[in-house]
Amino acid sequence: MNITILGTGSVGQALAKKLLTLDNNITIGTRDVEATLTKTELDGFGNPPISKMLTENPKIQLRSFKDSVAGADLVILAVSGRVAIDVLASSGELPAGMTIIDTTNPLDFSNGFPPSLFTESTTSLAEQIQEKFPHLNIVKCFNTMSNAIMINPQILDESSNIFVAGNDEKSRDLVKSLIFEMGWSVGEIVDLGDITAARGLEMIMPLWLRIFQSRGDANFNFKIAE
């Protein structure tokens, strides 16, 4: 597949490297290609600069948001929640029915760490994105874990869960196939149905962050024990 990943942070880089190994064509979108390539230090959120990763993986293309989506079969939104809608709006025109994987979290860092959420509990960022772009099929996925686990669930000793939510069943199936290829077993993939399930998926981020603070590492994931 031709996969476009919008966002050059840790999540975008991890997904790009993994999906490249699965024989996809990967394009990464960024606001300003030149500015992105000249960054040499971690940003304020601990994201490493992308230039090194691109040098090591020359098949991955870096393009402006607008140019990055041409010919894409699938788009992955991997930017900070605050700019998610703007980034999708500033990307080139996307055909009706395109599947967009939304990995974002509506984190509000205006009062420092730990962040709160900038959404109310009667909605979710994924739903807001879906409302803004009704011709696209938004599928929430990946937002509930570290990027190391997203692309390699076997680094945990125990099995854990990855969740999928979106209004279009075929788009959910596409995402489920993709994460299965990435190493998630059928039993680990939980389809929660329509996009309103994203409320719960986004609202577990505060607990994730608290456990992260408490442990001092991100080597854990949520699991539904039964």
142 forms part of the interface with a copy of itself (CB under 8 A): no
Does position 156 bind a copy of itself by CB under 8 A? yes
By CB under 8 A, residue 113 contacts a copy of itself: no
223 touches a copy of itself by CB under 8 A: yes
Tell whether residue 158 is a contact of a copy of itself (CB under 8 A): yes
What 3-state class would DSSP assign to 122?
A: coil
* Cβ-proximal residues to 166 (8 Å cutoff; 6+ apart), any chain: 137, 138, 139, 140, 172, 175, 194, 195
- Tell me whether residue 70 or residue 204 sits nearer to a copy of itself (CB atom): 204
Residue span binding a copy of itself (CB under 8 A) among the ranges 12-20, 51-59, 83-91, 188-196 = 188-196
User: Which is nearest to 109 in space by CA: 145, 81, 142?
Assistant: 81
Which residues in the 69-108 window bind a copy of itself by CB under 8 A? 108
Tokens of 194: 């329509």
CB 203 within 8 A of CB 117: yes
Binding flag, residue 111, a copy of itself (CB under 8 A): yes
Instruction: Kindly state whether residue 120 participates in binding a copy of itself, applying the rule CB under 8 A.
Output: yes
Distance CA 195, CA 136 (A): 12
Q: Least Å distance between CB 12 and a copy of itself? A: 24
Check residue 157 for interaction with a copy of itself (CB under 8 A). Answer: yes
H-run or E-run covering 33: helix 33-38
Closest CA to 68 of 47, 85, 93: 93
Q: Which is nearer to a copy of itself, 142 or 208 (CB)?
A: 208
Q: How would you classify the pairing of strands 162-166 and 137-140? A: antiparallel
Dihedral of the alpha carbons of 197, 202, 204, 209, in degrees to the nearest 10: 170
CB of 115 to a copy of itself, least distance (A): 9
Candidate segments 32-40, 74-82, 112-120, 176-184, binder of a copy of itself by CB under 8 A: 112-120
Total of chain residues touching a copy of itself, rule CB under 8 A: 37
Which residues here bind a copy of itself, judged by CB under 8 A? 108, 111, 116-117, 120-122, 156-161, 190, 192-193, 197, 199-201, 203-204, 206-211, 214, 219-226
